[in-house]
Amino acid sequence: TYHLSWYPLRMAISAGIYCRLSQDDGKTTSIQRQEADCQQLASTLGLEVVEVYKDSDLSDFKKGVVRPEFERIGKSCIAAALI
For 35-67, the pLDDT digits (tens) are 999 999 999 999 999 999 998 876 666 777 788
4-38 per-position pLDDT tens digit: 454 555 567 888 999 888 766 666 678 888 999 99
Residue 41 confidence (pLDDT)? 94
CB-CB contact of 18 with 70 (8 Å): yes
Inter-CA distances, 54 with 6, 39, 67, 70, Å: 42, 14, 9, 8
Identify the band that residue 77 occupies on the pLDDT scale cut at 50, 70 and 90: confident
Nearest of 20, 10, 25 to residue 54 by alpha carbon: 20
Residue 36 confidence (pLDDT)? 94
